[in-house]
Amino acid sequence: METRISAQVVKEKSYDPNFIVNVSYDDGNIRFSNELITVLRKPPKVNIEYSEHIKQIMGEIDIAKIELEVMKAIVEYLLSYLGDRR
């Protein structure tokens, strides 16, 4: 089974450089939904704080794919925000 990951920025609680991202994950073996991840986007580094549930299963899930989806959601949010300001 293909791993399914979705990530959405919680707009009401996010502002640059602090973001709250709602993440769901399903790889066929492990599944979770609506876990909140806190992201601090402060160059040159991005700090990600995972929920307690995700921390417990980190060794069993594809954390790199989750981080890519989280960063993609943040970039899309920032681009849409910039588009709204024009």
Q: What is the tens place of the pLDDT at every residue in 26-66?
A: 999 999 999 999 999 988 899 999 999 999 999 999 999 99
Residue found by looking up tokens 């920025």 in the block? 9
Domain extent for 20: 4-85
On the question of a cis peptide bond just before residue 43, with omega within 30 degrees of 0, the verdict is no
The two tokens of residue 34 are 């609506």
Torsion of CA 20, 54, 59, 5, to 10 degrees: -60
User: What's the number of domains the chain is made of?
Assistant: 1
Please give the sequence-ordered ranges of beta strands (E in DSSP) within 27-77, or none if there are none.
31-42, 45-49
Closest among 9, 11, 10, 63 to 32, alpha carbons compared: 63
Which of the four pLDDT bands, split at 50, 70 and 90, describes residue 1? confident
How far out from the chain centre does Cα 52 lie?
15
Residue 86 pLDDT > 70: no
Closest among 39, 72, 41 to 54, alpha carbons compared: 39
